[in-house]
Amino acid sequence: MKLKIYDDIYLNTEFENLSQKGIHKGCSGIILDIKADECFVRFRNHLNRGDYACININSKFLDFDEHQPKEHYPAWEHFKATGDLEKDSFKPQKFFEYDCVELAVEKDKYAKFGVHKGAKGAIMEDFCIDSEYYVIFTDYNTGYDIADIAVHEDDLILVKK
């Protein structure tokens, strides 16, 4: 089947150089451009929703999934015009489910939930969104929770794996 621009695809082969960028066999993406048999693909990072990597790859290594609806075209055109198309690897996953973490900064967006610098909590999902992790913070004196909120990875330090 001939692939087209804005087809959703899956990577059908494991490559050493791509795996180092976090992109593995089975990874989904969308074709942003095609020149001859070379596809320019935006792969999705399922461990960090919103993160992506743009790669040139031969179409024989891609399996067709489905075509994006026409009404989505303008949004993808906008991404092609304004997005960072040089970004060619996924962000490494910094934390994992049940990791014990500590809030390293004092910020209003966390303080409004009662979570202040030094608060400790647990990572409670096996993925993150926009590099923000879902964390349950606990008052260590009482054992009860302060809040469960999304916290950016740069604002967290690992206490115990």
Q: Does 70 bind another protein (CB under 8 A)?
A: no
Q: Enter the tokens of residue 52.
A: 């992506």
Closer Cβ to another protein, 34 or 47, answer by number: 47
Rounded CA separation 95/152 (Å): 11
Binding mask 142-161 for another protein (x = CB under 8 A): xxxx-xxxx--------xxx
Q: Does 5 bind another protein (CB under 8 A)?
A: no
Out of 79, 93, 102, 107, name the contact with another protein by CB under 8 A: 79
Binding mask 8-47 for another protein (x = CB under 8 A): x-------------------x-x-------------x-x-
Report, in Å, the least distance between residue 36 CB and another protein: 26
Backbone angles phi, psi at 92, to 5 degrees: -65, 145
β-pairing, 128-129 vs 48-49, is parallel
Classify the phi-psi angles of 88: left when phi > 0, otherwise alpha if psi is within -120 to 50, otherwise beta.
alpha
Rounded CA separation 135/120 (Å): 9
